Structure 1
Amino acid sequence: MSMSSKKSSGESIIPDSAVVVKVTSVISPFHIRIYQKESYSKKLDELSGKIQKYMKRKKFDDSSTHTEVHLLDPVIVRTKIDKDVHSPAWWCRGIITNPSDVENIQYNVFLPDYGISLVLPSDNCVVTPRHTFSDEYLTFSVGLHNVIPAVTELTVKDDQQITLILQSEWSAAAIQFTKDLLVASQCIYFDSCAFDGENKQYGEFYLLIDDEIISLSETLVSNLFAVYLDNDLLRVIDDPKYNDKSQIVHFDNGNIEIYKKTDANVINGKPNLKTHNKHKRIFRNTIEKDLQKILIKSNVKCAQFKAVADARFAFGIHQVLNSKYITRPKLIQSYIWPAIAKGLNVVAISPPDSGKTLGYVLPIASIIASYETLPKGTEPLALILCSSSSEVFCARALFMEYLQHYQNVKVLAGSHGISDKSFAAQVYNGCHILVATPPFLARFLTRNRKILKFHKLCHLVLDGADIILDKHFTSLGELFKIHDVIHNRDRHDLDTPLLQIVTVSRHWTSILRKFVMTSMDDPYTCIGSFMEAAVYAGIKPTLCMIKLQNKTLKVLQYIGDQPIVRRTMIICNDTDEVIKLDEFLQKHSLTTLLAHGNMTGFQLDGIKELWNISIPGRYPILICTDEVLPDLEISNIQHLIHYSIPRSTKSKFYYRFSTLMDNWKTSSGNSTCELIILLDETSELQISGVVDTMEKLGMKVSVDLRNTVERVAYFLDMQKKEYAICEFIKSLGSCPKKNSCRYRHCVLRETDVPTTEISIGDTAKLLLTYQHDATHYSARILEYIKAENSETVVCSIEKHTELYSKIQKYYSKRDNRRISRTINVGGIYTLEHTVDSFQRVQILDIVEKDKEDMPNVASVRCIDSGERISRVRVSRLLEIPEELEIWSSNIVEVFITNLAPFDLEYVWNRHAENMVHKWLKEYLNSTSYACGKVQLCLGNTIWLNTLEIRTKLIGYPDLVCSNLKTVLLEEQQALENNNHLHSLYALCKAGGLTSINGKKLPWTEQVN
């Protein structure tokens, strides 16, 4: 394998001589047991075969194990079925290290081919002659090269001097830190640099953590656990003049110098030692952040599962997990799994992609798969209610995937678009796990009351409970009250199972709180979001809008001049703010502690210790920046002041709420914590997010403040000129994810000028190239008929053909295939779509960035075909000459107006999309064409009143074969959305666009 590819966006680059290894045990950084992963399995299989043949040839019986055993004797370890011995194989080589229990004749046996030690009974060990097997041991011990262990001392002086004391042994903290780094590594490389007299290898470990390569020795030095053994330090240690070999190193203002303990003079120059404080924070966060993310509220204790094996799922489920190399649960799963397995009612709140769905799928699937006999008929054991059709398909797919070894477990999915007859047939064939949306199930049960019964229901899950209770409350009420879905919530007799209710959600809302309090007995609540934990705790915020020059005085006013009896933290954006605020508060005789990014990890540890030993009435005021919060690991703040708001992401702002977590473990809904947020005239970018947060926390927002927020949000939206208009806006007229959506939600007069000459009222004849969903297509305009004079304008296909030829000819020369150095949203590039076939593409969004915050993966639109590609590495995008870049295209995006998905969903489900696909396949052929009347044109997008399929007849008007809007409405695959076009016209007016291609927008006077 070529090592040239083993690089990261960070500074560390793996040498070509490094190999991929697996660490089996760690005694210290000087004694790490490893094996090379390449060919390890093959060598192990060959060795196992040799051992098995040897044992069969010698015909060992139990009496052969009673030979007297001595220290370092080689043995064969054999696993007996009737013994509780967890050996990694049936036969393996071992070395007796020492007796573990003389009375019971047990031994500590080291397995050199696996790098682990076991305590084994004597009858599991068969002594063999030395050199029975010539094969080298598959694991071996290595050590870090060119570093010396060190420990730190804090000298209490004004300059907060840190002392590094060189040691002969590694400290317990350094060993644990090394173990934590190795455990957190996705991949480990070892580069051998030197050998000692016993041929032991010493070298460097390179660790892949969160897609960043780090050096183990550099990290230990950066965290003050070690120093580099360079020439200057070696001269000091080897100098015979100094009998006391215990040397110290002083750390001050980023430099390290070596001193003799008894001498204050510098012995030699400064060795090349540097500190990288940001690395220290990154590593600590990688290892420890999981311990800080979950708020647990329950009267019942559940052990957290650290590994998937702890869950003890059904065997077939573990087979699937092993095939996917899943060995550790996500954080929220590590708490949900044991709670569900214990039969508790569970509430799980966490962000998207945190593992909530698998959090309930695996334990419920395992419980049902473990039934000795499954009930037959139409009485489900588990009912999963999802917030949308797409969630239904996702949840069912997961159940099917992990139950693939249990074909007797029947999993059904029900959502709008499935006929009653088809669904009933599936139910009669068996239904153990039913996944459905509440509206669909309520309608089906109303029309078919006797088909499904819920008297054996054991598990009820609300996936997306916050959305279900908001959008589908009526349907849910019908299921509970009329159809008796929660019949088993109270035990009626010994034969009736007790219903377990699980709710998973992104947000904690007031209606969800009410549901949990009234419908769930003693719930086990897990909250994996600091923001949602604050909402759950009922913290009451105070928002203060103030001029920048008055902020320090306002802080003093909030703190007061009385002794500080509450733990107070003030968080700033940068170090300068921290220092200036500290100077101001000290002038008013207030005791403060500072923590900012210019401090070392050791200094931050000292701040944390001082904080932890402070007492009420003499609490210092802790002033810090966001970047050090993970290092401080403080969660007992009672009075939190946001002096300034982070400008980059909301996640930094939300992380600040982690400092309040300890106060919420004992109470919910009535937190006594005090939260103050200061906004000044420089906070315009953040005001919208802050006010949304305040509303979540229950603060009433005045009309004036809401208008201010909307004006600022609109102004910020206007800056997104490079982004296309949001597709939810195009499709529905509104965006359900507006607060987090990256696309534009306004019309810009200069940016959204139509790329075609088509006007409102014209009829466009189209060649469809792609169907994106039920009402969204890409198409080539063949011709259009003007509304005012019925003139037919034919769009030339020759231009498209000419462009295609020019592109292929230009890039046929390899010298012209230059990777673009600048990647921008909205930019036009060339992509080699297939081998030696090139297309113009436009970047829609940057979906992934590297560690240096540079674009790595983008989503693109193929300009000349309409195809969307969700993930393209930017390294595949080529520079395009201006002549080809500005060439016009007659490919447009097409939307059908005034339609919306059924059941208040905002994404078209697969049933509607499949129906449209079949409709197109049936009606669109070589003798027919698609057309529609234009309602609006913006940029490369046109909106049609409908999509008609027409057939040309000689001597007669064209025959309308079918109308898509009519079909969707009649088949109940869509609902009318009369606000759609009206909302688009309103956006046009707000953006100053009152006419398009010389034609005024209809109803402009009525649009507000």
Structure 2
Amino acid sequence: MGKVVPLLSFEQLAVPDELRSAFSGFKEPTPIQACAWPPALEGRDVIGIAETGSGKTLAFGLPALAKLIASPISAKKSKGTTATVLVVAPTRELAIQTHDTLLALGEPFGIASVAVFGGVDKGGQIKTLQNANRDGKTTRIIAGTPGRILDLVNDGACDLSQVDYLVLDEADRMLDKGFENDIRAIIGHTKQGEERQTLMCNATWPEAVRRLAATFLRDPVRVTVGSDDLTANSRVEQVVEVFDDGRSKDGRLLGHLRNILPKKPVKNAADAARILVFALYKKEAARVEGMLRSKGYTVTGLHGDMSQSARMDALGSFKAGTTSVLVATDVAARGLDIPNVAAVINYTFPLTIEDYIHRIGRTGRGGRSGKSITFFTGDNHERALAGELARVLRESGFECEGLKKFPMTIKKKEHGAYGAFFRDDIPAPKGPTKITFN
């Protein structure tokens, strides 16, 4: 097997000029891109393990576009969906974000994408798939969530038989949520063996993901940026404030907003600083949102009780900078790339330390620095997570004296689908070629 040489500059990348617009504003490839692009562009299977905000979308997206551009299909001659690239993601928001990114990159080449996800009526997505080739563009990319993809396949509305480039984005999260059977079924509908190139993107590398990779990937190159274990973004300053009770949270939250948000509005809303506030429950998120609105802040919410269109509108206004504060549950914790998030404030601690790490990863993205502020009361589930939180802080070079009054035990991880019976120590088959970028 030949040596994989990382691409250390965009000039080394042999892609059409129109694709280079994706790099505008960046000086050099991120480590995951530098190491994943060479084998991916050669047609190799790739496993990418990296922290949130490390550029994984372009790491798999750019080789996908390059492959499609190299084998054009005329929209006039083709009938029905001619999708050959499939991206499977764990959440609607991540699927939509990936779709938007690939759609923008493919537009100059007449390559279109369609997003399919639950929470909305299937009719519109079916119609889009049936009218996939029009206006000179050919839909060759499908990005979606496992349940809706499989639903449309079983309805006969989505044909995956020509898919030869498959991406499993945040595969560890999808397996942890119990999507393994759906993923295996979806893979079974795509091209098989050497006819398909498969890429897996993960934040961690547990045995469950290794076994899935061993089943469907062919001699993959594994790129690890940092650690195989989930670690906090090193560019995010972590501050934990311990409360005796939660009654003073509102006052402390308002104080942080006054300190972080600019006193005067900026000329360009897109350049405005934003603050992402996480709450654990939907009702709590709605209450905090209402409280902040009553104090004069431009705020919106994002949680499971909202319709899909309302969720997309809320996310859109926050990304555009017309809304300075977004109060969300953990539906916004994974994968979302929102510019200029100055700080993440954990109003309530999440149920797992993994969700904490993903939450704070919404700031400090794209090589920028960020800040997270976490309110910790030690109530209910929080006390049991104090030891794990202290470990994460310590590994990142931060401390919190207030946490030491809680038990410092570290709970064994439980699988989302199998609970405490999950076995994470079953040996996986022989591993792939590994590139580690510390």
TM > 0.5 fold call: yes
CA deviation vs aligned residue, 1:964-993 (integer Å, no higher than 9, x gap): xxxxxxxxxxxxxxxxxxxxx9689x9xxx
Output aligned runs, 1:224-239, within 5 Å: none
Given the alignment of the two structures, is residue 335 of structure 1 paired with residue 35 of structure 2, yes or no?
Answer: yes
Identity %: 16
Distance in 2 of aligned mates of 1:844 and 1:307: 32
Aligned counterparts, 1:121-160, within 5 A: none
Q: Which amino acid aligns with 2:160?
A: F
Which residue, 404, 408, 411 being the options, matches 2:107? Answer: 404
Q: Matches of 2:380 and 2:27 in 1, distance apart?
A: 52
Distance in 1 separating the partners of 2:233 and 2:83:
42
Report the CA distance between 1:456 and its aligned residue.
1.7
Moved over 4 A (4+): 649-652, 826-835, 843-846, 860-863, 914-917, 985-988
Contact 1:346 1:525 in 2 (8 A): yes
Aligned pair partner of 1:470 in 176, 183, 187: 176
- Give the secondary-structure state (helix, strand or coil) at the position aligned to 2:102: helix
Q: Distance in 2 between matches of 1:831 and 1:514?
A: 49
- Give 2:295's aligned residue: 864
Deviations 1:173-214 (A, max 9, x none): xxxxxxxxxxxxxxxxxxxxxxxxxxxxxxxxxxxxxxxxxx
Is the alpha carbon distance of 1:525 and 1:377 closer, same or farther for their aligned partners in structure 2, counting shifts above 3 Å?
same
Find the counterpart in structure 1 of residue 189 from structure 2: 485
The CA distance in 2 between the partners of 1:429 and 1:334, in whole Å, is 37
Give runs of aligned pairs for residues 24-43 of structure 1, distance below 5 A: none
Shift of 1:457: 1.2
- Structure 1 position 433, deviation (Å): 0.5
Task: Note the residue ranges of structure 2 that are not aligned, 5 or more in a row.
Answer: 133-138, 267-273, 278-290, 316-346, 348-378, 385-438
- Distance verdict in 2 for CA 1:827–1:525, change over 3 Å: same
Pair 1:338–1:844, CA change in 2 (3 A): closer
CA distance in structure 2 between the aligned counterparts of 1:419 and 1:360, rounded to whole angstroms:
29
User: Is the contact made by 1:387 and 1:468 (CA closer than 8 Å) also made in structure 2?
Assistant: yes
Deviation, 1:455, is 2.4
Q: 1:363 aligns with which of 51, 63, 68?
A: 63
Q: Find the aligned partners of 1:829 and 1:364 in 2 and give their Cα distance.
A: 39
- Aligned residue for 1:435? 143
Q: Please state if 1:456 is matched with 2:162.
A: yes
**Deviation at residue 395 of structure 1 after TM alignment:** 0.7
- Once the two structures are superposed, residues 162-182 of structure 1 have per-residue CA deviations (whole angstroms, 9 ceiling, x without a partner) of xxxxxxxxxxxxxxxxxxxxx
Instruction: State how 1:317-328 maps to structure 2 within 5 Å.
Output: 317-318=19-20, 320-321=21-22, 324-326=24-26, 328=28
AA aligned to 1:901 is G
- Deviation of the 1:326 alpha carbon: 4.1
Cα distance in 1, alignment partners of residues 63 and 292 from structure 2:
41
Provide the residue aligned with 2:85 in structure 1. Answer: 382
The within-5 A match list for 1:613-762 is 719-721=241-243, 748=245, 751=248
Change (3 A) 1:531 1:441: closer
Task: Flag the 1:462–1:825 CA change in 2: closer, same or farther, 3 A.
Answer: same
User: Partners in 2 of 1:347 and 1:500 — Cα distance?
Assistant: 11
Cα distance in 2, alignment partners of residues 377 and 826 from structure 1: 51
Q: CA deviation at 1:520?
A: 0.9
Q: What secondary structure does 2:143 align onto?
A: strand
In structure 2, relative to structure 1, the CA distance for the partners of 1:828 and 1:474 (3 Å cut) is same
For 1:355 and 1:916, locate their aligned partners in 2 and report how far apart those are by CA, in whole Å: 24
Q: For 1:964-1003, what aligned pairs fall within 5 Å after superposition?
A: none
Give the C-alpha shift of residue 315 in structure 1.
Answer: 3.1
Q: Does 1:913 align with 2:311?
A: yes
State the one-letter code of the partner of 1:529.
G
Deviation at 1:423, TM superposition (A): 0.9
CA distance in 1, matches of 2:381, 2:5: 54
More strand, by proportion: 1
Q: Deviations over 1:376-418 (max 9, x none)?
A: 4223110000111111111111112222311x21211111133
Q: Secondary structure at the match of 1:329?
A: coil
Q: 2:128 aligns with which of 426, 429, 434?
A: 426
1:416 matched to 2:124? The reply is: no
Output the CA distance in 2 between the equivalents of 1:844 and 1:410.
33
Contact 1:349 1:507 in 2 (8 A): yes
Question: 2: CA distance between counterparts of 1:532 and 1:361?
Answer: 24
CA distance in 2 between counterparts of 1:340 and 1:511 reads 23
After superposition, the Cα gap between the structure-2 partners of 1:489 and 1:327, relative to the gap in structure 1 and judged at 3 Å, is farther
| Deviation at residue 302 of structure 1 after TM alignment | 2.6
Is 1:353 aligned with 2:53? yes
Q: Which residue of 2 aligns with 1:105?
A: none
Alignment match, 1:79: none
- Structure 2 residue aligned with 1:901, among 304, 313, 318? 304
Q: Which amino acid aligns with 2:219?
A: D
Question: SS of the residue aligned with 1:432?
Answer: strand
1:305 aligned partner: 7
Q: Give the C-alpha shift of residue 751 in structure 1.
A: 2.6
Counterparts in 2 of 1:794-943, with a 5 A limit? 825=256, 832-833=263-264, 864-868=295-299, 901=304, 910-913=308-311
How many angstroms apart in 2 are the aligned matches of 1:370 and 1:915? Answer: 36
Q: Distance in 2 between matches of 1:329 and 1:829?
A: 30
Q: Find the aligned partners of 1:356 and 1:524 in 2 and give their Cα distance.
A: 15
- Counting only pairs closer than 5 Å after superposition, residues 592-603 of structure 1 correspond to structure 2 as none
2:210 aligns to what? Answer: 513
**Which fold has the larger relative contact order, with Cα–Cα distance below 8 Å and residues 6 or more apart in sequence?**
2
Aligned length: 289
CA distance in 1: counterparts of 2:126 and 2:225, whole angstroms: 39
Q: Distance in 2 between matches of 1:831 and 1:344?
A: 47
Change in Cα spacing, 1:478 to 1:862, as seen in structure 2 (3 Å) is same
Gap change, CA 1:404 and 1:909, over 3 Å in 2: farther
Q: Which runs of 5+ in 1 are unaligned?
A: 1-298, 492-497, 536-648, 653-715, 722-746, 755-822, 836-842, 847-859, 870-893, 903-907, 918-940, 942-984, 991-1008
Q: Which has the higher helix share?
A: 2
Cα pair distance change 1:470/1:527, threshold 3 Å: same
- In our comparison, the structure showing a higher alpha carbon Rg is 1
**1:739-797 deviation digits (Å, cap 9, x = unpaired):** xxxxxxxx71653699xxxxxxxxxxxxxxxxxxxxxxxxxxxxxxxxxxxxxxxxxxx
Q: Assess, with a 3 A threshold, how the Cα gap between structure 1 residues 911 and 845 changes in structure 2: closer, same or farther.
A: closer
